Structure 1
């Protein structure tokens, strides 16, 4: 009798609720390469916060007794042409490079998402105007467009963020527009329209959630592009000031010593390479997990 009562109580208990987050983590942790890349980026973000406090040397203070020294116990990554510790400059530069790339991509994400939602939802003349403007930006290579923008605004970190943001907007707009065109054909969107829901409510409650997975994938890959663009602008002298420990600036200042002290270029180059590679690997892993076309194949 007691066993029957216990069984009936178990049968009446609700089944475990489906958790999208748990399902995502269960699938994502199977992607070992992407998981390792995620750990690497997490460590970089931690370094961005604590780098100035754990740097063994002042990244700005020259030491003329240790000019262009190779890697050693005293200087893990060697010193530059002013005797400054490269490892300390890399630690401090992590915050600068990540801040520039994250800020530019985040601003481009906001502007591009809004334009893409408006373009895809309303269509017609609005869609044509927005897409033709995007086509104009797409006709220029990203770095060339960024150089032109910084040349107009003037060199500096803030202007680099604006330049990278501007050439990121059309990519986000086109991506969101495509997802919006697909989402607005769903039955629940038509039902919301028939019930008199406002355009704003339909766009942000019913359509925008359908674009999130694609945006997450694209953002991770776009951060890598932003790091390359920001470093390229600084390398050309259009970004951070020469004394700033930014990775692109370090590459630029060390190119004159490539034959005699290759570590001056090699260390920031490795930092840029590994960071961009990690973001691309994370993007590939997220695409495998979140893209329904790949999941169903």
Structure 2
């Protein structure tokens, strides 16, 4: 007959081993792998990143070399997505455009997240007039639709991809500032932050060591979803002639160049439009999966 004390000790040891084996990464993966659509979207994004890195190596043709003998050719084995009005291979241009779209989307949102996070933390921690000034500036930026604000900024700075990055990062700032401020306010009132203040810790240490880590999950989710918005905005600006300039193989610029041939060569706009649609959808689905995984209110 088993000894109750021995049995209880074995049970405690087993529980301790399970606790030791558990880790934040394993817990995240255990929850995230249940998000089937997010997993598929993550794989698609990974493929896009690989294409962006090795794009020039795998493109079958040069993206800007004209071939006047094959102008406006439809999809074929030789040209998988057809050719444009200069005979350039559309598939090759879409592959090279992946690097441009991902770079513009990631860099612009990264800049907006960096500045917005700093402003949100300062606003939440210091409060009073500092909070009022920062939030009123955010309210002014929120009053303009993102695309209109971007158009206004580029109208001042001039059309180019660099200015597109600046414009998108500016209208991304208030979004991150609001989200970070909301998370930081709830963390600021916790017991351990009050205890840290009481022992005389410096404000900078409290902000970055005790408050900022609690906002990371919301920053990651918003960052992922904003990349899709940034890619769509950059494509819209290029379509209007305010972003990438010919012959840059940017997806929005390719859409703009093909709109005069919608009736005779619809593949000029179909494939760049499909690339934009799938990329934006993938980032949105991936962001939704991250939100459902990282949100502590959502149980297994």
* TM bucket normalised to smaller: over 0.9
1:293 is displaced (CA, Å) by 2.1
Q: CA deviation at 1:11?
A: 7.1
User: Is residue 219 of structure 2 the alignment partner of residue 251 of structure 1?
Assistant: no
1:148-163 correspondence to structure 2 within 5 Å: 148-163=152-167
Match of 1:167 among 166, 171, 177: 171
Partner of 1:34: 38
Size of the aligned set, in residue pairs, is 292
Distance, in Å, in 1 between the alignment partners of 2:13 and 2:271 is 62
Partner residue, 2:3: none
CA distance in 2, matches of 1:24, 1:166: 32
Structure 1: where are the runs of 5+ without partners?
Answer: none
What is residue 17 of structure 2 aligned with on the other side?
15
Whether contact under 8 Å (1:70, 1:79) holds in the other structure is yes
Question: What corresponds to 1:142 in structure 2?
Answer: 146
Whole-Å separation in 1 of the counterparts to 2:168 and 2:40: 27
The answer on 1:279 being equivalent to 2:283 is yes
| CA positional deviation for 1:15 | 2.1
Do structure 1's residue 58 and structure 2's residue 62 form an aligned pair? yes
Name which of structure 1's ranges 15-24 and 35-44 shifts more when overlaid on structure 2. Answer: 15-24
Q: How does 1:203-214 map to 2 (within 5 A)?
A: 203-214=207-218
Question: 1:288 touches 1:295 (CA, 8 Å); kept in 2?
Answer: no
TM superposition score normalised by structure 1: 0.95
Deviation at 1:43, TM superposition (A): 0.2
Q: Could you say what the CA RMSD is over the residues aligned between the two structures, in angstroms?
A: 1.7
Q: Deviations over 1:47-99 (max 9, x none)?
A: 00111111000100011111111100000000011000000000101000000
Deviations 1:172-192 (A, max 9, x none): 000000001111011100000
